[in-house]
Structure 1
Amino acid sequence: MQRILVNQTSIAETRAENVDSAPLEAGQVRLALESFALTSNNVTYAAAGFDIGYWQFFPSGTEGWGIVPVWGTAKVVESRSDVLEVGTRLYGFYPMADEVVITPSAAQGGFVDIAEHRAKLPLIYNQYTPVRSGSDADDHLRAILQPLLATSFLLFDWLQDNAYFGAQQIIIGSASSKTGLGLCKYLAEPADRAYRIVGLTSAKNRAFVEGLGACDSVLTYDQIDDIAQVPSVYVDMSGNSDVKMALHTHLGDSLKHSSAVGLSHWDHFAPTQKLAGPKPEFFFAPSQVAKRRAEWGPGEIEKQITAAWKRIAADASTWMNVQVYRGIAAAEAPYLALVTGQAAPTTGVIIRP
């Protein structure tokens, strides 16, 4: 088995290694990963690995080193389970490795890993969905966009659920990220919307965000003082504390809600900051899923998420170029590019072990 380990206290440090595959116990299956995506999500998983528990999904057994989860597609290659046959392909949450062992239990729409160490972790990450054999392109788009755009849509749903906190403008930090651009696009869909959409991004990515056509205005981080001082919501995809400080200071009490979503700028994140206006609150997508499941019944929010991400994926070829890397060791370079902020927003990264 090949895998990538990440230093849990210095997440830009990685190493590839080979370890012996564990024999299966009764009820377990072995999955061989066919492909997985690397996105800004994976940086957040590493940066928030202790706080939210992402290191717990796939324990490495090596002190100080963890395995970052990824989204992708795998095939059952060995089974001692009555519910999963060899050859079944599953989409879901995997380690950055070429194989994984799970303990599947049948559930609505697919399977759940009921391994003891995952029992207290969010259900959405323990679910695996059967997928038919299709084109590589379909697998790649699903792995890259579905997790990111699911978060985008759940953010949109949550904002709707809270009447946009009475905001006249919604400001999206790191609007060039795929989660950010997804939220901008969903926010732009209602014909009767009463808010403006303001995208914040770096100077090098401004033209890209403008070209997507979802924002009413696109500003760079050094133009925060140009943002109108009207009732606002800030949705922060990057965790950049300097940007957050500047925006909170500028808007003050005009800021009605500040939402923290991602940590792609983990190296500019300060966990304790005294800010003007409301205290930032962390948005945890699985909580919104759980709320909607309770309100709407099982399966409905999943249907809406699927329809939503496919709407944006339909024209992804016009703004995203998929780059495929082969071999687990090849994951280190694009992961490092994401961690250090060097990855282009127009690129989608796929690893084929």
Structure 2
Amino acid sequence: MNASVQHFTVQRNNPAQGRWHQAPLPAVGAGEVLLHVDLVSFTANNVTYAMFGERMKYWAFFPTNDAASGSIPVWGFADVVASAADGVAVGERFYGYYPMSSHLLVKPARVGPGGFLDASEHRRELPAIYNQYVRCSTDSMYRQDREAELAILRPLFATSFLLDDFLADNQDFGATRVLLSSASSKTAYGTAACLAARGSVEVVGLTSPSNAGFVNALGCYSRVVTYDALASLDPSVPTVYCDFAGNAALRADIHRHCGEALTYSCSIGGTHWDHLGGGAALPGPRPVLFFAPSQAKKRAGEWGPDGLQRRLGEAWERFITQVTSGPTKWLTVATSSGQEAISKAVADVMQGRVPPNEGHVLRFGS
């Protein structure tokens, strides 16, 4: 086991600027577990965590003790390397929410066959969905040969599933068309796949001309429109706008084009993070930030946690079959290990230099 912890942090006001730090391994106290972070993904979803870090408290999960810097949360897999907690053994592997770091100290609570909840003091008031660590040996969604795909797509697809469920829960706000920006992004096309499976609305993907071929080939969109052809959309059709780009100018164009026919407008991500902006004084409904944990909490209360996981698992199986078995390869995995390679991968994702069919996983090494 490494004798030190390797941390990667970014400037909160400019997440494209990052640096590595080294610190001693933490002591493992009573009831605590030390995890070695092995394989995690880094996608546009993590860029969203950084851009909404203050507003949505994403910086609070893994504090750096420096108000100017933050650790971007990532999803993936880690192994137990030391344990002083009942029910969690050295060598076990867990899927969950981790810092950009080689190690994480947690305090397991509600330990059961499926995993545990981190009850560390600073995380107790944060959304529980981010504090759950799933035991791979009992996880119905886990497959060792699909760890990379799980790390990349599982957290994104959870948002996709919950967004589609939220729209269905609200009868699609009376719309017959759902418009998704940044249609080549993984969370967007996961949502499109769910919407297409439900079949109640026309699913229109907005994308750049360079990505139009890829988005068309996915087969989950009813229609693909490039950003420069927005005017070709019938402005009288009742429409829901799902904003995965976060581009303020694009949002304004859509609100002005659709006007009163826009029945709902929600913001999910910020892939165009350098063009983020507010939604005040726009025609039509005021844009609302979609927060997936809120819908998860609602459904867990109505369906029970097991019912929610069962439905999510069923939807995931349909989706991952499309991703891995369709006529077009939806995802190619790129793996980076070592500080220099990880730094480059993060910068590439941050600056939008990653092809739409590529997903990055980072390995922190042993």
TM range (shorter): over 0.9
Q: 1:288 to 1:64 in 2, by over 3 A?
A: same
Match of residue 293, structure 1, among 300, 308, 312:
300
Partner of 1:327: 338
Matches within 5 A, 1:173-252: 173-191=181-199, 193=200, 195-229=201-235, 230-252=237-259
Deviations 1:111-140 (A, max 9, x none): 000001000000000000000398653111
Deviations 1:193-240 (A, max 9, x none): 2x2111001111111010011111101111111111211000001111
Match of residue 282, structure 2, among 275, 297, 301:
275
User: Aligned equivalents of 2:150 and 2:43: distance in 1?
Assistant: 12
Partner of 1:5: 9
User: Aligned equivalents of 2:16 and 2:41: distance in 1?
Assistant: 18
1:110 aligns with 2:92: no
TM-score, L = length of structure 2: 0.93
Identical-pair percentage? 40
Matches within 5 A, 1:1-353: 1-107=5-111, 109-132=114-137, 137-191=145-199, 193=200, 195-229=201-235, 230-271=237-278, 273-317=280-324, 318-353=329-364
Determine if contact 2:279/2:286 at 8 Å carries over to the other structure: no
- In the TM superposition, residue 45 of structure 1 has moved relative to its aligned partner by 0.6
- In the TM superposition, residue 249 of structure 1 has moved relative to its aligned partner by 0.5
Determine if contact 2:87/2:111 at 8 Å carries over to the other structure: no
Note the residue ranges of structure 1 that are not aligned, 5 or more in a row: none
User: Aligned equivalents of 1:277 and 1:75: distance in 2?
Assistant: 49
- In the TM superposition, residue 105 of structure 1 has moved relative to its aligned partner by 1.1
Query: 318-327 vs 249-258, which deviates more?
Result: 318-327
SS at match of 1:151: helix
Matched residue count: 351
- In the TM superposition, residue 315 of structure 1 has moved relative to its aligned partner by 3.8
- In the TM superposition, residue 274 of structure 1 has moved relative to its aligned partner by 2.0
Query: 298-307 vs 155-164, which deviates more?
Result: 298-307
User: Aligned equivalents of 2:280 and 2:145: distance in 1?
Assistant: 43
Q: Which residue identity lines up with residue 363 of structure 2 in the other structure?
A: R
Structure 1 consecutive aligned stretches of length 4 or more whose deviation exceeds 4 Å? 133-136
Determine if contact 1:174/1:180 at 8 Å carries over to the other structure: yes
SS at match of 2:15: coil
- In the TM superposition, residue 298 of structure 1 has moved relative to its aligned partner by 2.2
